[in-house]
């Protein structure tokens, strides 16, 4: 059974604060990992890929913990424009099937002034 | 401009009236996929296609059909729509890499969405 789990939130965070949320996945052999951002009623858009060594893009840091089977997203100095739903995406299967790209249900983040 | 287009963007129809939602991408992607998004359920995959003439069921294929006759197009067909198919639909495409024991996906590019209401 495919499983990518996220805390749905909402996370209410004051502007300027640091916020982090995780996403757990079920298959230890999973390969690709991504964070997508989705604004209300809009299409998801790639925020960043998640690499084994961790990666940073401006105020955003993504990390992968294979031992505990989760990925994380850290947002520093949060802006009002960061308010959105953040979707975790994992390729759950490492062999054979091509149906393993699975989306989490998303974490809703609200940045408050 | 690299993009995925969907049409129509909004559609209100009645039960049983066949409809097609078109999806087209101009990035020469092999992989295309259809999702529906419902409150509290997140994105659920309906069908996907690894390449021309290669399609397969996702998590919620019942009531839907697809075809992939050309690389750029991946229409979603509802032969006899029902009210439980009222949803927000997204088409997506990407490059993929097939290894000997694994499948990996590049960035998924999504269309703008089609909001379907079946009365």
Asked if B56 and A99 come within 8 Å (Cβ–Cβ), the reply is: yes
Residue range B84-107: mean pLDDT, rounded: 81
SS3 of residue B84 by DSSP: helix
Q: Which residues contact A19 (CB under 8 A, 6 or more apart)?
A: A11, A13, A74, A75, A78, A109
Residue B71: per-residue pLDDT: 97
Residue A97: per-residue pLDDT = 46
Q: Do B113 and A103 touch (CB under 8 A)?
A: no
Give the pLDDT score at B53. 95
User: What is the predicted pLDDT for the residue at A2?
Assistant: 58
Q: With contacts defined as CB-CB under 8 Å, which chain B residues touch A94?
A: 101-102
pLDDT tens digit string along B36-84? 999 988 899 999 998 999 999 998 999 999 999 999 999 999 999 999 9
A111 forms beta bridges with A13
Measure the N-to-C terminal CA separation of chain A; round to a whole number of Å: 41
The answer, for B81 touching chain A at a CB cutoff of 8 Å, is no
- List chain A residues with pLDDT less than 50: 96-98
* Closest chain A C-alpha to B94 CA, distance in angstroms: 12
C-beta separation of B94 from B29 below 8 A? yes
Contacts of B43 in chain A (CB under 8 A): 44, 87, 103, 105
pLDDT category of residue B98 using cuts at 50, 70 and 90: low
Which residue of B42, B91, B94, B110 is the best one to mutate when testing the A interface, meaning the one whose CB has the most A CBs within 10 A? B42
pLDDT of B20 reads 98
Label residues B21-44 b or e (16+ Cβ within 10 Å = b).
bebbbeeebbbbbbbbbeeeebbb
- Looking at CA atoms only, how far is residue A10 from chain B in angstroms? 12
In eight-state DSSP terms, residue B40 is T
The per-residue pLDDT for range A42-73, each reduced to its tens digit, is: 999 999 999 888 899 999 999 999 999 999 99
- Name the minimum distance, in Å, from the CA of A65 to any CA of chain B: 19
SS3 call for A53: coil
Indicate yes or no: CB of A32 within 8 angstroms of CB of B41.
no
pLDDT for the residue numbered A93: 62
- Angstrom distance (rounded) from CA A103 to CA B1: 26
d(CA A49, CA A4): 16
Q: List phi, psi (to 5°) of A96.
A: 80, -85
pLDDT at B101 over 60: no
Calpha distance B9→A21 (Å, rounded): 32
Q: Going edge to edge, which strands form the sheet with A4-6?
A: A4-6, A19-25, A70-75, A60-65, A55-57
Q: Mind listing the pLDDT tens digit for each residue in B4-44?
A: 999 999 999 999 999 999 999 999 999 999 999 999 888 99
- Closest-CA residue of A relative to B87 is A41
Listed range (A16-25, A53-62, B97-106, B109-118) with the worst mean pLDDT = B97-106
State the pLDDT at residue A95. Answer: 52
């Amino acid at each position: 059974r495919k499983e990518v789990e996220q805390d749905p939130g909402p996370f209410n965070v004051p502007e300027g604060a640091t916020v982090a949320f995780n996403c757990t996945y079920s298959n230890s052999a999973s390969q690709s990992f991504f964070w997508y951002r989705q604004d209300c009623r809009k299409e998801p858009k790639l925020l960043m890929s998640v690499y084994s060594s961790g990666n940073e893009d401006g105020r955003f840091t993504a990390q992968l913990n294979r031992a505990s089977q989760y990925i994380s997203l850290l947002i520093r100095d949060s802006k009002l424009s960061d308010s959105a739903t953040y979707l975790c995406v994992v390729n759950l299967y490492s062999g054979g099937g091509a149906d393993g790209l699975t989306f989490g249900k998303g974490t809703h983040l609200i940045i408050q002034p | 401009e690299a993009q995925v287009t969907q049409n129509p963007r909004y559609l209100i129809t009645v039960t049983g009236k066949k409809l097609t939602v078109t999806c087209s991408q101009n990035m020469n992607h092999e992989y295309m996929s259809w999702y529906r998004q419902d409150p509290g359920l997140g994105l659920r995959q309906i069908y996907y296609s690894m390449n021309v003439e290669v399609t397969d069921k996702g998590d919620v294929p019942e009531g839907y059909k697809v075809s992939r006759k050309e690389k750029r197009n991946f229409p979603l067909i509802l032969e006899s729509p029902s009210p439980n198919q009222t949803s927000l639909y997204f088409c997506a495409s990407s490059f993929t890499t097939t290894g000997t024991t694994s499948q990996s996906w590049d960035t998924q590019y999504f269309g703008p969405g089609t909001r379907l209401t079946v009365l």
